[in-house]
């Protein structure tokens, strides 16, 4: 770059203007920016179809601002406003400007009291509401019907204390999902009460002041009747007691409780009964595999009654040799006994790395953990 700069300067200083300018015009952005910051060749660079970055650099130097104010690219006009402020407001047609430039002009103190904007951009309206208030926006006809406002503007109004119908908000799902985190607990409870949409209900639960807000709410029971919602709640440690009051026989629910370490959760304090005790009468392959994912030694519990179907469902996931031996007493099926023995032999090879047995790293870790 330095070599090019020196050549341009040499050509120009020795009277060879055209070669100097030809080399300048074909040079890199960095070379042109160097000369702009040095205050050299500004007119020549500006008159040679400059890029946005070149125009921005020229504006920073305060060059040809009157021309850049009328540039077709709103970004160029924005740079004039951003760098040189309100001194050029009179050169702009506020009502026809790009909304970014309108907002910048307002930041610089532009007076919109007597201004009418036919097609108000949502971002400009949002700025006006946030910085001038609802009353100003309403009195100057920037707002007509609250219900027709963009949801971003509604959020700003809610945050400023303006009351808006929650039922109307729920007509726009995108809007209500974004607005819920900004609402008071009382408004969130209203939406929870009125909505039937799972995503909306979940968002209400996540953003209520306390999980106790919905403990005795009739809608919570309806929400928890859905198995997927129960699993979602368990994954977040929510409403475990409510779930176990009515859904203790649901295997998907029990599996979610197992995987989230609620095995010893006391659901009946009077009788001191835990989730583990709920498993015994409904024990099957699905529940057994859930237990395998947590702690395989739990499956040595003699209260678990195995059959051939359960053993078939789980043996390929077992990495505990003692559990494989334990299962043999529950079957007389020669094929299953053979599979258990083959699995045991394989795990012994893994343990001893016999014949460079190729196994997944995860399996080795599980084996070490459960041996």
Looking at residue 239, the DSSP 8-state letter turns out to be S
Q: What is the dihedral of CA 295, 296, 301, 305, to 10 degrees?
A: 120
Q: How confident is the model at residue 342 (pLDDT cuts 50, 70, 90)?
A: very high
* Residue 355: pLDDT over 60: no
Find, among 316, 370, 313, 306, the residue nearest to 343 by Cα.
316
Q: Which residue has the higher pLDDT, 152 or 56?
A: 56
Looking at residue 1, the DSSP 8-state letter turns out to be -
User: Please, how many CA atoms are within 13 Å of residue 57, restricted to the half-sphere of its CB?
Assistant: 22
15-72: pLDDT as tens digits = 888 888 888 888 888 988 888 888 888 888 888 888 999 999 988 888 888 888 888 9
Show me where the domains of the chain are located: 165-215
The mean pLDDT of the chain is 85
297-329: pLDDT as tens digits = 999 999 999 999 999 999 999 999 999 999 999
The segment with the largest mean pLDDT, out of 145-154, 177-186, 276-285, 354-363, is 276-285
Q: Give percent of the chain above pLDDT 70.
A: 93
CA 51 to chain centre: 36
* Residue 236: pLDDT over 80: yes
Q: Which residues pair with 273 in a beta bridge?
A: 268
Query: Residue written as tokens 């002009």?
Result: 105
Rounded to 5°, angle at Cα 196 from 194 and 197: 120
Tokens of 313: 């469902």
């Amino acid at each position: 770059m330095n070599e090019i700069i020196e050549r341009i300067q040499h050509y120009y200083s020795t009277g060879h203007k055209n070669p100097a300018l030809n080399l300048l015009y074909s040079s890199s952005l960095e070379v042109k920016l160097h000369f702009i910051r040095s205050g050299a060749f500004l007119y020549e660079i500006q008159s040679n179809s400059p890029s946005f970055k070149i125009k921005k650099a020229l504006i920073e130097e305060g060059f040809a601002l009157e021309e850049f104010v009328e540039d077709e690219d709103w970004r160029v006009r924005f740079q004039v406003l951003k760098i040189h402020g309100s001194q050029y407001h009179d050169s702009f047609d506020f009502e026809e400007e790009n909304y970014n430039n309108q907002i910048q002009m307002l930041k610089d103190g532009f007076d919109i009291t007597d201004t009418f904007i036919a097609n108000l951009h949502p971002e400009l309206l949002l700025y006006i509401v946030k910085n001038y208030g609802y009353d100003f926006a309403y009195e100057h006809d920037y707002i007509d019907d609250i219900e027709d406002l963009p949801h971003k503007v509604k959020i700003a109004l809610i945050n400023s204390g303006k009351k808006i119908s929650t039922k109307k908000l729920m007509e726009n799902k995108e809007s209500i999902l974004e607005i819920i985190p900004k609402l008071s607990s009382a408004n969130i409870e209203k939406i929870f009460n009125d909505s039937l949409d799972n995503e909306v209900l979940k968002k209400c639960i996540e953003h209520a002041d306390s999980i106790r807000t919905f403990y005795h709410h009739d809608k919570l029971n309806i929400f928890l009747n859905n198995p997927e919602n129960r699993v979602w709640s368990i994954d977040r440690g929510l409403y475990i007691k409510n779930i176990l009051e009515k859904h203790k026989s649901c295997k998907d629910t029990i599996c979610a409780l197992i995987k989230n370490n609620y095995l010893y959760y006391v659901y009946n304090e009077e009788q001191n009964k835990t989730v583990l005790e709920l498993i015994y009468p409904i024990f099957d392959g699905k529940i057994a595999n859930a237990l395998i994912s947590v702690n395989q030694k739990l499956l040595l519990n003699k209260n678990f009654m195995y059959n051939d179907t359960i053993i078939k469902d789980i043996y390929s996931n077992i990495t505990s040799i003692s559990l494989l031996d334990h299962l043999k007493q529950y079957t007389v099926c020669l094929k299953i006994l053979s599979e258990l023995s083959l699995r045991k032999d394989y795990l012994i090879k893994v343990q001893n790395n016999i014949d460079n047995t190729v196994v997944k790293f995860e399996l080795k870790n599980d084996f070490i953990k459960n041996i």
